[in-house]
């Protein structure tokens, strides 16, 4: 099975469309979105509807998705995130709010577990980027591969090592095998707002037959999305950061 895993779309329709176009020729069988369809970006309804209509795709809840429903308080977020969520609340259709309300916090599938932030306290929204939270995540699961998002940075973590993937000098993909017995936490990066200083969208394909991870980067028109953010009256910082991937 070739499983596409993506996360943190954040209302960035152009980035999502570019990613889907890129993966169309990669023989994907199923897809899983790890959450945060909305927040920051100017196209929340469009992004939800596009993911809702993807064939063989399951989706989890992210903190911005739940904040848009008042299940998580937006007042605990950064000022720009809070402003974007309050704006998003006014934009979302009833149907899309209902869809977000159905999304689970965690998914266990075969020897894999999926969560937006972490599996041990899904709505605590802790970032798994160091050994402390990695060990907590390993202890909370029995899976071989744990797939997460939330930090907007592609990472591969074992019990003894954290591999921070840097794409700046790489054309558009990183592939490596994971056929050994080590357990791994794998962050698929962000589609709509990368924070690893690479503005291109990031997504992942896990090939279970070949035991291989394939990370892909896809360029899109950040200028177009930045203008849409400005037109929507959202904070200027949200458009500026798209150009730098921060």
Q: At what angle do helices 222-232 and 236-244 cross, to 10 degrees?
A: 170
Residue 153 pLDDT > 70, yes or no? yes
Residue 172 pLDDT > 90, yes or no? no
Q: Where are the domains of the chain?
A: 2-244
What pLDDT sits at residue 167? 61
- Per-residue pLDDT band at 171 (split at 50, 70, 90): confident
Contact 239, 230 (CB under 8 A): yes
What pLDDT sits at residue 170? 64
Q: List, for residues 180-218, the tens digit of each pLDDT value.
A: 999 999 999 999 999 999 999 999 999 999 999 999 999
Q: What is the DSSP string of 175-219?
A: EEE--SS--EEEEE--SS---SS--SEEEEEEETTTTEEEEEEE-
Q: What pTM was estimated for this model as a whole?
A: 0.96
Phi-psi label, residue 44: left if phi above 0, alpha if psi -120 to 50, beta otherwise: alpha
Share in percent of the chain as helix, strand, coil (round to 5) = 30, 20, 45
Angle at CA of residue 73, ends 67 and 74, nearest 5°:
70
Contact 176, 212 (CB under 8 A): yes
Residue 168 pLDDT > 70, yes or no? no
Mean pLDDT of the chain: 96
Lowest average pLDDT, out of 10-14, 89-93, 170-174, goes to: 170-174
- Per-residue pLDDT band at 114 (split at 50, 70, 90): very high
CATH, range 2-244: 3.60.21.10
Cα 139 from Cα 159, distance rounded (Å): 11
Q: List, for residues 223-238, the tens digit of each pLDDT value.
A: 999 999 999 999 999 9
Considering only residues 167 and 30, tell me which one the structure prediction assigns the higher pLDDT.
30
- Per-residue pLDDT band at 169 (split at 50, 70, 90): low
Is the C-alpha dihedral spanning 20, 22, 28, 34 positive or negative? negative
What pLDDT sits at residue 176? 87
Distance spanning both ends of the chain, measured CA to CA? 33
Helix (H, G, I), strand (E, B) or coil at 108: strand
The partner residues of 197 in beta bridges, in order of sequence, read: none
Residue 94 pLDDT > 80, yes or no? yes
């Amino acid at each position: 099975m070739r499983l596409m895993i993506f996360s943190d779309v954040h209302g960035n329709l152009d980035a999502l469309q570019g990613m889907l176009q890129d993966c169309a020729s990669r023989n994907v069988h199923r897809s899983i979105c790890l959450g945060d369809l909305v927040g920051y970006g100017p196209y929340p309804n469009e992004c939800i509807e596009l993911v809702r209509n993807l064939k063989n795709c399951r989706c989890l809840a992210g903190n911005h998705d739940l904040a848009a429903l008042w299940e998580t308080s937006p007042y605990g977020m950064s000022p720009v995130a809070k402003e974007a969520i309050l704006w998003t609340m006014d934009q979302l259709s009833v149907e899309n709010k209902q869809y977000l309300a159905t999304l689970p916090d965690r998914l266990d599938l075969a020897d894999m577990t999926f969560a937006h932030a972490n599996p041990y306290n899904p709505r605590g929204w802790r970032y798994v980027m160091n050994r402390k939270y990695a060990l907590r995540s390993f202890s909370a699961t029995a899976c071989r591969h744990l797939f997460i998002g939330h930090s907007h940075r592609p990472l591969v973590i074992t019990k003894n090592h954290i591999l921070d993937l840097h794409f700046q000098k790489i054309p558009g993909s990183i592939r490596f095998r994971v056929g050994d017995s080590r357990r791994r936490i794998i962050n698929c990066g962000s589609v709509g707002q990368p924070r690893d200083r690479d503005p291109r969208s990031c997504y992942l394909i896990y090939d279970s037959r070949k035991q291989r991870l394939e990370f892909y980067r896809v360029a899109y028109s950040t200028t177009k999305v930045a203008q849409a953010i400005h037109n929507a009256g959202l904070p200027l910082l949200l458009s500026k950061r798209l150009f730098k991937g921060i």
